[in-house]
Structure 1
Amino acid sequence: MDLAREFVIRERHHRIHNPLTPEKLSTVAAAIRLRPGWSMLDLACGSGEMLCTWSRHHGIRGTGVDISTAFLASARQRAAELGVAERLEFVHGDASGFVAAEPVDVAACIGATWIGGGLEGTVELLARSLRPGGIMLIGEPFWLQEPPDQAAVTGSGAGSRDDFEDLPGLVASFGRLGWDLVEMVLADQDSWDRYVAAQWLSVRTWLDENPDDELAPAMRAELDTAPLDYVRYQRRHLGWGVFALMKR
């Protein structure tokens, strides 16, 4: 069980696997008023930057779960580098079935709500690990503006317009699920650029180093189209944010 290689190729140099800069990640921590000693569960934690930096700067302890062995190796290395390895555990596994052994203060899934089959299922999954009065963090895309045609939908990384809500629709959905939205931090164009554009250099250098790999033709085709799709469609149409929720 592991993450598909193409995802690792694109983001092997990323510490944050979504359109958050380190500054915005710090803003999220301040926004939810993290306290020393709080416990956290991060499902689909990637390279663990959120857990590692928040443990270093705010004294939290926590568990990260991810399917990628490569990203988890980076997470453990980062925890050791920041001197917080004793406060954190990184588990290789399918996050879609993971529930914390004890209720946590913060339960998060940042940009991977497919683990629960969508937003509703992921909220339900995280709620099983969250203490009463705790904070849930959901990272989720939304349409900045309605894509005019299927080319814009596909170029934004979606299969259908119905894959995402607009921002008012997304916020309304939290209420329908029985949760109060208590904070949010949204990506901007610069943080999107830093996330997406960094993938192109990672793909190009991988291609230079692995010209005969079986994935090389597909990765070459991706690099031929991804930058233009991004600046033409995704940068214009797709938003993303981290939303802090508390149960009503």
Structure 2
Amino acid sequence: MDQLNYWAIADREVEIQNPITDRKLRLLDDYCSIRDGMSVLDMGCGKAWLMRHWAEKFAIQGVGIDINARFLEAARRKTPARGQLTFHNASVKGFKIEPASYDVVLCLGAAASLGDVPSALEWMATAAKPGGSLVLGTTVLRHPPAVPKGDILPPDTVSMMGVMERHGAEVSATISASDADYERYQSHQRHATLMWARDNPNHRDHAEVLQKSRDDWMHYQRIIRPMLGWTIFVGRKNG
């Protein structure tokens, strides 16, 4: 199965490709002190909702990187009112960045594109100017299991802030998804994949799409829903 096509199917009903609302994302306007003339880099940008929102309001220079061409088609669909956005259909690992050249570096749910959170933060810190904002959205542990499970669980918010600080960024704000935010996002993905399977019964990936959809849905119900959350951490690069 083509994994890029699977995620294009799963996220076809949503513009914001994370378990967070537009109202909460708009808080980043202030937390990142967005203003005209700023440069923004979004790694694993997907449909780039946040950067497109900023480019409607501010004359920013934005760069988005994503390996999924279908997502970038959606990101390019409308020319922003004020900012200029450039999108690259490329892997984040293979994208060459100018060190210390961006006012804001975003990684919203895309740390896996560089392997893990520490690797993503190292990449982000390299790209950001001194005093620039590092904005990391990632899964966090909220309710540790009473009996240790075999699954590898993420750190909690306090530990994650420590990871950011070890990469030279003091956390100044956090924004967390609610249980309802997470449920809505996972339900959109489940619904979209089931509707696709109903409409495409003879597609060569039909069975695999259904299996991955069920696996992800049950992982949400068994692991994410009772134990995990999703939080955006806003840090300022030292210097």
Residue 197 (str. 1) matches residue 194 (str. 2): no
Q: Give 3-state SS (helix, strand or coil) of 2:144's partner.
A: coil
1:149-204 CA-to-partner distances (Å, cap 9, x unmatched) read: 547x4xxxxxx23xx11222111222223321111111111221221111112112
Distance 1:9 1:150, change over 3 A: farther
Partner of 1:144: 142
Displacement of 1:7 after TM fit? 1.6
- TM-score w.r.t. the length of structure 2 is 0.89
Gaps of 5+ in 1: 154-159
Displacement of 1:36 after TM fit? 1.7
Separation (CA, whole Å) in 2 of partners of 1:178 and 1:224? 39
Displacement of 1:74 after TM fit? 0.5
Separation (CA, whole Å) in 1 of partners of 2:21 and 2:135? 17
1:30-69 → structure 2 map (5 Å cutoff): 30-69=30-69
1:114-155 CA-to-partner distances (Å, cap 9, x unmatched) read: 22221221111122221121111111111111134547x4xx
Structure with higher helix content: 1
Distance 1:3 1:54, change over 3 A: farther
Aligned counterpart in structure 2 of residue 212 of structure 1, from 190, 202, 214: 202
CA contact (8 A) 1:41 1:100 kept: no
Q: Give 3-state SS (helix, strand or coil) of 1:128's partner.
A: helix
Identical counterparts, % of pairs? 26
Aligned counterpart in structure 2 of residue 172 of structure 1, from 162, 167, 170: 162
Amino acid at match of 1:98: F
Displacement of 1:232 after TM fit? 4.1
Displacement of 1:83 after TM fit? 3.6
Which range moved further: 40-49 or 225-234?
Answer: 225-234
- TM-score w.r.t. the length of structure 1 is 0.86
Gaps of 5+ in 2: none
Partner of 2:85: 88
CA contact (8 A) 2:172 2:234 kept: yes
